[in-house]
Each structure stands twice: as C-alpha cells, then as structure tokens.
Structure 1
Amino acid sequence: MTVAVHPPLARWTDADYPTMGWHDCRIHAVSLAEHSDDGALPRVRLMLDLDYIVRWDGPAAPGEHLSFWISPATLVFEGAWGISGEFGPLFEQLEIADIHRLDPPDEHPEPSWHIEGHNFGFHLRASGFRQHARTPALLVPRKVLTSEERGGVSFACPAA
C-alpha cells in the first residue's frame, strides 16, 4: 500500500543543492534536446527522468526493512554544454551514487557537474538545475517506483 506525503508537489533549484541528495535514485530516461524560448540560438537542455528519494524512513521495528518516500521527478540542466561520460558495462538500471558540483575549471562561470553512478558517470557544464516533482511522494518498501506508480517515463515539469 502506498501513501502520499505532503506538500503534494515540490520544485528544487541549485540553491537547494547543499540539502539535497540523489544517492540510490533510479534514472529511467535521459534526454538531450535543443530549445529556444526567445528565437535565439538553440541551447541544450539535459533532462533526467528519475525516482527522487525524498526521505528514507528507518524500520518500524527491529528486523524490519527501511521504507522510502519517493516522487517521480524531472531534473533539468538548462544550457548544458561540454557533456561527456562513460557507461558500462550496463547490466543493471542506472542508479545515481551522487551528484557533485565543482568550481569552474576555466574562465567560464558555469560550474562543472559530475553525475556519478554505479557503472556510469558523466560530466557537464551548466549554470544550475531545476528539479520538478511530478506527483506527491509515495511511501514504498523499496528504492524505486513501479511504472504504474510513477506514471511511466516522462520529462514533464509541472509548476510547483
């Protein structure tokens, strides 16, 4: 049985980075898309469809397992560039170990982001990110939502 947690929807930005964590968050899909809202040269938008673990709950009693409050979310890096990475061997799903924000290594002002995973990793440059919860978090006994619980794969970014 799953239970929704409140507030119903959340939106985070890179200003929230120090209080956020992505350890064990499952990535369901990755999108690189060009877009332009003002008719200027297109910029690259890197988006990740993931199960964001909002909170880990300890066992209700000794010998029981952890439970997790998870929300399907879209993590968006606008104006991403210098994207590189490595995958493999991929015998499991993509699961994040951590996301690191590093100081700019050159004269460009954008920080470097390193998305470190189990059997994968990639780097990119972007001024920041937005992360949108698509549904209220659900309490589940595992670190991943089913396709039905998350509403399938999506890159939707609802207003918070």
Structure 2
Amino acid sequence: MNGHEPSGLEKYTWTDADFEVMGWHDGKIRAISVGEREDEQVPRLLLDLDYIVKWVDPAKPSRYFSFWIAPATLVFEAAWHVEGDLAPNGNLLEIADLHRLDSPDGPPAALWHIEGQNFDLRVRSAGYTQYFRKEPQHVSGQVLTMAQRGGLSFAEVPFA
C-alpha cells in the first residue's frame, strides 16, 4: 500500500488531478513563500500546511472530534497574478475552501481561490502538487505543534 491506512491517506503526493477528492476545510497555513525554482526561472507559490486528512467522530463519552493531520507542502508551479488580502490578527490562516475557477480571460492557467476565515488568496497556475512530508498524526485539535510537524518547511519530498 502506498498510503497510511489508519488515517485513510491513500498516497503521499497529490496533484490537481486529485482536486475533486481533496478538501482543505479548517486546514491551517503555517507559512507562505513566493519565489522561483532554483534551477529554473519559474515563479512559484508554496504553502506550508497542517492538512486535515480525516475527521474522527467523537468516542463516547467525549463530544469532541479528533483529527488525523499531516504537515504538507502545497506548490503552485508557474504561478502568476498572485493577489489577496491577509488579516491574520495573531491567528493562523485557516482555510475555508480552495476553489478551481475557469480562466477569466482565456489563457490556459486556472484561477485558484483559497478562501479563508481571515484571508483571501488568488493565484493563476496550471495546477498544483501537494506533498505530505510526515505521516498523519492522530490529535485532539485541528493543528499540529511545531514539534509534531518538524517545524516550518517547504520541502517537496513526500514522507515515503
């Protein structure tokens, strides 16, 4: 199996071809990078995420959900027209949803809209790759500690 059976994570690297089965709701953005690939002059947008792989129903007597969460790097290649509003107010950027919209002006690059509780981010890109950097961990909250996630990272290597 090329996945993590307890959490239901089927594979360690996902792309925009998997968009319909992915969900970023309540995931946290820990860091954002806009730059170029070292070996090419291709602009990129990278997000360091706490990605919620699975919500676990409460086990009685608890009334609270628990979560399988993994640190992940979400990379939009050949990214351009990056714009948005950030207003974290001391809180992590919490994702409400990620939308793939048709190009508004005809070029082949889709418009990706990352809608958040306290931010709004848009980027044009042909697609993305998301790398799960560590195995999902079963935790009681919707965010990993820095120790659990191994610090901040934009590594583009899956954990297995």
Same fold, judged at TM 0.5 (above): yes
Of 28, 31, 47, which aligns to 2:30? 28
Instruction: Tell me the residue number matched to 2:3.
Output: none
TM-score by length of 2: 0.89
| Alpha-carbon distance change, 118 to 49 in structure 1, aligned in 2, over 3 angstroms | same
State the 1:69 CA deviation. 0.3
* Match of residue 94 from structure 1: 93
Give me the whole-angstrom Cα distance separating, in 2, the residues matched to 1:103 and 1:63. Answer: 43
Please state how far the C-alpha of 1:35 moved relative to its aligned partner.
2.2
Corresponding position: 1:48 with 2:38: no
1:44–1:146 Cα change, 3 Å: same
Q: 1:90 Cα shift? A: 2.3
Moved more, 87-96 or 23-32: 87-96
1:14 aligned partner: 16
CA RMSD of aligned residues (A): 1.9
Distance 1:8 1:111, change over 3 A: closer
Work out the CA distance in 1 between the residues paired with 2:120 and 2:17.
23
Is 1:66 aligned to 2:65, yes or no?
yes
Superposition deviation, residue 9 in structure 1: 6.0
Supply the distance in 2 between the matched residues of 1:32 and 1:108 (Cα, whole angstroms).
Answer: 21
Q: How many residues align?
A: 154
Q: What's the offset of the Cα at 1:107? A: 1.9
Q: 2:7·2:53 contact (CA, 8 Å) conserved in 1?
A: no
Structure 1 segments unaligned to the other structure (5+ residues): none
> Tell me, what secondary structure is at the counterpart of 1:15?
helix
How far residue 63 of structure 1 moved from its aligned partner, in angstroms, is: 4.0
Change (3 A) 1:64 1:89: closer
Deviation per residue, 1:61-112 (Å, 9 max, x gap): 1543101000000000000001110122623211111100001111201110
Alpha-carbon contact 2:43-2:78 (below 8 Å) kept: yes
Residue number in structure 2 paired with 1:109: 108
Cα offset, 1:139, TM superposition = 0.3
Q: Could you state the TM-score of these two structures normalised by the residue count of structure 1?
A: 0.89
Deviation at 1:34, TM superposition (A): 1.3
What is the percentage of aligned positions where both structures have the same residue?
50
Give structure 2 stretches of 5+ with no counterpart. Answer: 1-5
Query: Could you tell me how far 1:148 is from its partner in structure 2?
Result: 0.3
Cα distance in 2 between the residues matched to 1:115 and 1:51:
15
